[in-house]
Amino acid sequence: MSGDDIKHGNEPGPELDEPEAAAAVKGGAADEMSRRGFLGLSFTALPVVGLASGAVRAAAAVRLPARPAPARLPAGDLTVILNVNGRERQLRIDPRTSLLDALREQLALPGTKKGCDHGQCGACTVLVDDRRVLSCLLLAAMVQGRRVTTVEGLARDGELHPLQAAFLEHDAFQCGYCTPGQIVSAVGLLHEGCPADAAGIGEQMSGNLCRCGAYPNIVAAIAAARKGKPG
């Protein structure tokens, strides 16, 4: 930090190769548009289908209130370079932006889930320098120069990570919302040294809650991956 630049804080980072940076951001945005676009169209289509059915018209009387638009932080005054899943991404962010929101809203990586947003559920677990941490309690600005790995970065050359394969094999989820956090947390646990017994695995996975209660299968999947086999 130099001079009295505390208002904006950060030094300009190393220059990125511009075309690559632009491509990285553009590619991500395109991925997001296709996925979001598809979901948006699906939901738009639903009422049209529903009008044909009296049952659905009746149900419309008790429909949920319209969801507010997702809160968007104002475009920021901080430039950060994040290394996410092996790619460097340059972002302009508001200093308040959490790593979780930067991943989901700006880098088009919605695999990392927002559960409680208070560090109590583990759905937002990512790896920073191979250690499992909670992306909702990190500001994006705090991880500059560190390696961030999300659930999207676990598969290699089209092959699922052994823990992803083990979760499928053991049916280690129901609704799936906590699953990316469970898997990334378990990858971190394998790095740390995973206990062999179910109680030990339970203790070491206590930061990841599953409201469906899929714990027995989650523990079985991790125990299997620990032994180096998905099944």
- Contact between 6 and other proteins (CB under 8 A)? yes
> What three-state secondary structure class fits 208?
coil
**Minimal distance in Å, beta carbon 49 to other proteins?**
39
Q: Where are the beta strands (DSSP E) in the chain?
A: 78-84, 87-93, 125-128, 131-134, 147-149
Draw the binding track, 142-181, toward other proteins (x: CB under 8 A; -: no contact): x---------------------------------------
Contacts of 143 (CB under 8 A, 6+ apart): 82, 99, 128
Which runs of consecutive H residues, i.e. helices, occur in 18-161?
A: 18-50, 54-60, 99-101
- Contact between 197 and other proteins (CB under 8 A)? no
Stretch that binds other proteins, among 42-50, 53-61, 136-144, 159-167 (CB under 8 A): 136-144
- Contact between 114 and other proteins (CB under 8 A)? no
- Contact between 137 and other proteins (CB under 8 A)? yes
Which strand (E) or helix (H) includes residue 159?
none
- Contact between 72 and other proteins (CB under 8 A)? no
Stretch that binds other proteins, among 13-21, 33-41, 57-65, 92-100 (CB under 8 A): 92-100
Q: List the one residue out of 79, 103, 68 whose CA is nearest residue 15.
A: 79
- Contact between 133 and other proteins (CB under 8 A)? yes
**Minimal distance in Å, beta carbon 102 to other proteins?**
13
Stretch that binds other proteins, among 28-36, 43-51, 172-180, 201-209 (CB under 8 A): 201-209
78 bridge partner residues: 93
Q: In whole angstroms, give the CA distance from residue 219 to residue 160.
A: 19
Quick one: 125 or 164, whose CB is closer to other proteins? 125
**Minimal distance in Å, beta carbon 137 to other proteins?**
5
Quick one: 144 or 174, whose CB is closer to other proteins? 144
- Rounded to 5°, the CA angle 222-224-226 comes to 70
Q: In whole angstroms, give the CA distance from residue 203 to residue 55.
A: 47
Q: Tokens 């809203």 — which residue?
A: 105
Q: Tokens 């909670």 — which residue?
A: 134
- Contact between 26 and other proteins (CB under 8 A)? no
Binding site for other proteins (CB under 8 A): 1, 5-10, 78, 94-96, 98, 117-119, 122, 125, 131-134, 136-139, 141-142, 185, 188-189, 192, 202-208
